[in-house]
């Protein structure tokens, strides 16, 4: 049964501020979200679209090490590039903020503290990857190795080649991305969110209450639920991030996948300090999370479980439309190999052609399967569809329209 909502809150996945955004980000998340926001506004509906940069991920610290600068230097640079290029493309955010803001630090700390005070976490001591040469514990992204599923190189949290979520213990021949030394293991203590306690509620919410969700979203969620959910760490042994706000947590920060989605809340607070709660806690608000397929688990299982644990009326998203990937000239877009079309470079090389890119990415959107962007197709759509067909239609209509 379709619900009637008074307003819609649209959130967009937070890109890591370790580099600019590329056409894969645009086709997967930002252009579709902007189209939907514009559509609702044209209908006269109350809409807020929030976005921002994820500035606490390990990729930021890796980039900073590579360049010999601080993580803050990296995020300041790329946040500005991302924010400005999104604006120039015409993505109509009501706010595009960042997770290094003071309001986000306060919001994320308060969120953790409430769950901590309510006894929602489990404390576990475990063996974690450690680099003896660097003298540091290794976050997932600092661990490299061979994926046990596809045999290609992967990180300690995910294989980008086949999309499988992993842990460092699953990798074959794990090594440190800091020094290339083999990973060793040392004991450390962290806080875990017991996802298994929310498994039945999540199953009912996803599979029973939302049969209309896209098959790729529902299918990936069902696979995780059928395997049985496990407690997931919400803290990490790192120096860069929001410090864990409890005694005895020195040297630990909030895990980025606990920290980042709270950014949707803090961003809303930033622009609507007196009315943000109606966008998150009023049942008459529809929340839509636009993401890529690699973020499905975090937005459909981890973040909803966090909201369930917090309580206090927080509403769960009504839909989580996740697109597939956009490839480039038959090859997977890769930041590390610089195989991408970067938005800020496109805007510089093709001044005034924002709508052409938006049109091509919309016409070729990877909604149900991975699609391929080629320059030949870009040229053909511009010349044959926009110039020849649409341009001819506009010209004929203008010529035949009587002048008063």
pLDDT digits (tens, 9 = 90+) for 90-149: 999 999 999 999 999 999 999 999 999 999 999 999 888 999 998 888 888 889 999 999
Query: In total, how many domains does the chain have?
Result: 1
**How far, in Å, are 19, 51, 199, 266 from residue 15 at the CA level?**
9, 9, 28, 16
CATH of the domain at 347: 3.40.50.620
pTM over 0.85: yes
Place 206 in a pLDDT band, splitting at 50, 70 and 90.
very high
Residue 203 inside a domain? The answer is no
Residue 198 lies in a domain: no
Residue 354 in any domain: the answer is: yes
In a domain, 346, yes or no: yes
Residue 53's SS3 state is: strand
Instruction: Output the pLDDT for position 1.
Output: 42
Residue 296 belongs to what domain range?
Answer: 1-119+258-398
Q: Token pair of 339, please?
A: 């195989």
Query: Residue 393: phi, psi to the nearest 5?
Result: -60, -45
Quick check: is 249 in a domain?
A: no
Determine the average pLDDT of the residues in 196-216. 97
Asked if the structure places residue 154 within a domain, the reply is: no
Burial of 117 (0-12, 13-18, 19+ CB in 10 A): exposed
- Within-domain flag for 85: yes
Asked if residue 68 lies in contact with residue 292, where contact means CB atoms within 8 angstroms, the answer is no
Q: Give the Cα separation of 77 and 72 in Å (integer).
A: 8
Mean local confidence (pLDDT), 365-391 = 94
pLDDT, tens digit, 9 for 90 and up, residues 234-268: 999 988 999 999 998 988 999 999 999 999 999 99
pLDDT band at 2 (very low <50, low <70, confident <90, very high): low
User: Does residue 17 lie in a domain region?
Assistant: yes
């Amino acid at each position: 049964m379709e619900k009637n909502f008074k307003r819609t809150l649209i959130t967009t996945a937070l890109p890591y501020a370790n580099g600019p955004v590329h056409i894969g980000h645009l086709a997967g998340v930002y252009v579709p979200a902007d189209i939907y926001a514009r559509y609702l506004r044209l209908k006269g509906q109350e809409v807020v679209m929030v976005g921002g940069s994820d500035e606490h991920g390990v990729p930021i610290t890796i980039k900073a090490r590579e360049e010999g600068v601080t993580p803050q230097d990296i995020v300041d640079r790329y946040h500005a590039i991302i924010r400005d290029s999104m604006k120039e493309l015409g993505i109509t955010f009501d706010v595009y903020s960042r997770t290094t803001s003071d309001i986000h630090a306060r919001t994320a700390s308060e969120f953790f503290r409430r769950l901590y005070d309510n006894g929602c976490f489990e404390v576990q001591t475990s063996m974690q990857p450690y680099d003896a040469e660097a003298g540091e514990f290794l976050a997932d992204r600092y661990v490299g190795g061979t994926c046990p599923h596809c045999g290609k190189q992967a990180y300690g949290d995910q294989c980008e080649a086949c999309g499988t979520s992993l842990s460092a213990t699953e990798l074959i021949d794990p090594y440190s991305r800091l020094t290339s030394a083999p990973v060793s293991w040392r004991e450390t203590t962290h806080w875990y969110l017991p996802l298994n306690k929310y498994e039945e509620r999540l199953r009912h919410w996803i599979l029973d209450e939302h049969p209309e969700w896209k098959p790729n979203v529902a299918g990936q969620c069902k696979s995780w639920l059928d395997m049985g959910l496990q407690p997931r760490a919400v803290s990490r042994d790192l120096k860069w991030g929001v410090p864990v706000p409890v005694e005895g947590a020195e040297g630990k920060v909030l895990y980025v996948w606990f920290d980042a989605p709270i950014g949707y809340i803090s961003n809303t607070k930033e622009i609507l300090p007196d009315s943000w709660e109606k966008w998150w806690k009023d049942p008459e608000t529809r929340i839509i999370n636009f993401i890529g397929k690699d973020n499905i688990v975090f937005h459909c299982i981890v973040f909803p479980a966090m909201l369930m644990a917090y309580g206090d009326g927080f509403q769960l998203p009504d839909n989580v439309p996740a697109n597939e990937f956009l490839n480039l000239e038959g090859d997977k877009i890769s930041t590390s190999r610089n195989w991408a079309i970067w938005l800020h470079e496109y805007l510089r090389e093709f001044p005034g052609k924002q709508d052409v890119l938006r049109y091509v990415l919309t016409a070729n959107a990877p909604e149900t399967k991975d699609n391929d962007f080629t320059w030949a197709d870009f040229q053909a759509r511009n010349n044959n569809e926009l110039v020849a067909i649409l341009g001819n239609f506009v010209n004929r209509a203008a010529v035949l329209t009587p002048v008063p």
